[in-house]
Amino acid sequence: MLTNILDPDFTSCAGIDVLVCVPFGPKADQVIQILKSLKCRPYLAVSPEDALRKLRFNAFQVILITSGYSSEVSKDLMEKPMSSRRHFFYIYVDSEAETGNPFQAFALSANLVLNMNELDILKERLEPALMDYNKLYRVYYNVSKTQEEQSH
């Protein structure tokens, strides 16, 4: 089982745990179906409190949240130190977002932004985006891991 998206053996979305913070309804169902088609393991947070609880006690490789879901959950994600942020991929979905816009993603401390009306594109974008993320941060992760091992 894959526990880290920075793992050198990471090659696909299959088996990754995704926390889905989308209000119940057709959009949540759509996201879950897309993730399942990619062989991900989606976990729908039933409330903002449930999302915060799941974040405290589970290590999700991907977190997908829609605008307006919960400012408390968004704040919790944005305030995490980079040392822990690098271990999950944050997707922000908003009806005003320009899908794939790196400047919007940066401003929102997200790794990927999607327009709510273009959720279907998640199927095409998630795996390549995760592979790029893995390439970018894997070197940092490996160096950090080596330094930790040497200090013990």
> What number of CA atoms fall less than 13 Å from residue 66's CA on the CB side?
21
| Per-residue pLDDT tens over the stretch 71-108 | 888 888 888 877 777 778 999 999 999 999 999 999 98
Task: Name the token pair of 41.
Answer: 């393991």
Q: Does residue 114 register a pLDDT over 70?
A: yes
What is the pTM (predicted TM-score) of this model?
A: 0.87
For the chain, give the mean pLDDT: 87
pLDDT at residue 3, as a whole number:
59
pLDDT at residue 13, as a whole number:
85
Question: In the chain, where do the E strands start and end?
Answer: 17-21, 41-44, 62-66, 89-94, 112-115
Torsion 7-12-15-21 (CA) sign? positive
pLDDT at residue 81, as a whole number:
78
Which range has highest mean pLDDT (6-10, 64-68, 70-74, 148-152)? 64-68
Cβ-contact 90, 74 below 8 angstroms = no
